[in-house]
């Protein structure tokens, strides 16, 4: 049952971000912003690919070379 709860907790990742394969929660303090980009652990993403997180936590969806989507709580937007 715990596994089911954990899977449902992050079922909000849209297919265009990574189809539930490369998305994960991360500490919010690891995410930074420039005027046009969002950065996490040396990976860059376009700032418009940042979305409001429905669970109030930070999440990233990555490829091997870039951020596809970033979900942040309202307090960081």
Q: Per-residue confidence of the chain (77 residues) as pLDDT tens digits? A: 444 444 445 577 888 887 667 889 999 999 999 999 999 999 999 998 899 998 899 999 998 888 999 999 987 76
Structural domain for 50, as ranges: 2-76
- Give the single-character DSSP code of 34: -
For the chain, the domain total comes to 1
Q: What is the pTM of this model?
A: 0.81
Q: What are phi and psi of 38, to 5 degrees?
A: -115, 140
Q: Tell me how far apart the alpha carbons of residues 27 and 16 are, in angstroms, rounded to a whole number.
A: 23
CB distance 9 to 55 below 8 Å: yes
Bridge partners, 45 (sequence order): 38
């Amino acid at each position: 049952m715990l596994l089911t709860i954990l899977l449902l907790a992050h079922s909000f990742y849209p297919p265009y971000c990574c189809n539930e394969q490369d998305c994960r929660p991360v500490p919010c303090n690891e995410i930074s912003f420039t005027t046009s980009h969002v950065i996490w652990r040396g990976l860059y993403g376009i700032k418009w690919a940042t979305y409001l997180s429905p669970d109030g936590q930070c999440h990233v969806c990555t490829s091997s070379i870039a951020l596809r989507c970033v979900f942040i709580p309202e307090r960081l937007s």
